[in-house]
Amino acid sequence: MTTATAPASVSRQHSAPHPAVHACDAGRFEIRPLAAPLGAEVIGLDLSQPLTQADFARIHRAHLDHHVLVIRDQRITPSQQIAFSRRFGPLQVHVLHQFQLPGHPEVLVVSNVVENGKPIGLGDAGHFWHSDLSYKERPSLGSLLHARELPAEGGDTLFANMHLAWDTLPAALQRAVDGRQAEHTYLARYAELQQRSPWRPDLTPEQVAQVRPVLQPVVRTHPETGRKALFVSEHFTTRIVGLPEDESRALLDQLFAHSVRPAHIYRHRWQPHDLVFWDNRSLLHLAAGCPPHLRRVMYRTTIEGDVPR
């Protein structure tokens, strides 16, 4: 199984824009594709102000086209982040209610900060490659992560393009997995994470009931674009249904390794007040980590998606 370490061969992708800029970017803000296998930078948008339907439509289209939007310099409140997120659909509340932002249960605090002997957020979020909430019957459409406090070094987030992973998968492997289902469970590596860090509390019976294992297609079709994507991850996918355990494990290991090849990856180096909005139907992501003595505080909202097909 692959590990959570960032591939050494992946260079840090700076957010310098690609020379091409969308022809429709003549309005209040620009959408600039990144020089990477996915992603675009949004410059000049202020989400603290009302967003017109036309502007929202541009953001929605860009999100489908590029899978990750890096929306720069967003000096927004949690309520404003929630309001923008809700325009894409209902929000999902994370099972670890211990790390909800007080007064805003829709916001998961992602942080390595410990205050009064207790962590204020989920400090090891994203330790393994995954798609958010793939372990739910209706996994996440997308997630929005807002930088509130950044470390002086480290803290990068890596994204892997699962459409490219499918497109470049050898034909024999495509035939082996297309049409199959796999089990996803939040508990797959929970005990392992508990042993490594202080951020994974024991789950109550009620919390366990919220994350019962589900079956998802190994290859899903994006409901809005029709593109196929691999939909398995080292964090939450445990087995391929209908295969002996050894065959299932060998096949999953091949899919995991192929998914996160350097050619599929964009590495995001955070800037102050970045709001990063990614499509969980199209991508896996990974937190590269930062030195434990450097504070990192992020606010995450998560949009509910559809039942994968």
CA quadruple 115, 121, 127, 133: dihedral, nearest 10:
170
Taking the chain, what is the end-to-end CA distance rounded to the nearest angstrom?
Answer: 26
C-alpha 235/C-alpha 238 separation (Å) is 8
Active site residues: 130, 132, 285, 300
Residue 291 neighbours by CB distance under 10 Å = 12
- Strand pairing class (40-43; 68-71): parallel
What is the number of H-type helices and E-type strands within the chain?
Answer: 7, 18
DSSP per-residue codes, 96-126: -GGGEETTEEEEEEEE--EETTEESS-TTTT
C-alpha 70/C-alpha 144 separation (Å) is 10
209: Cα separation from own chain's centroid: 23
What are the beta bridge partners of residue 17? 34
Q: Could you tell me which residues come within 8 angstroms of residue 103 by beta carbon, excluding any fewer than 6 positions away? A: none
> Phi, psi (5° rounding) for residue 296?
-140, 125
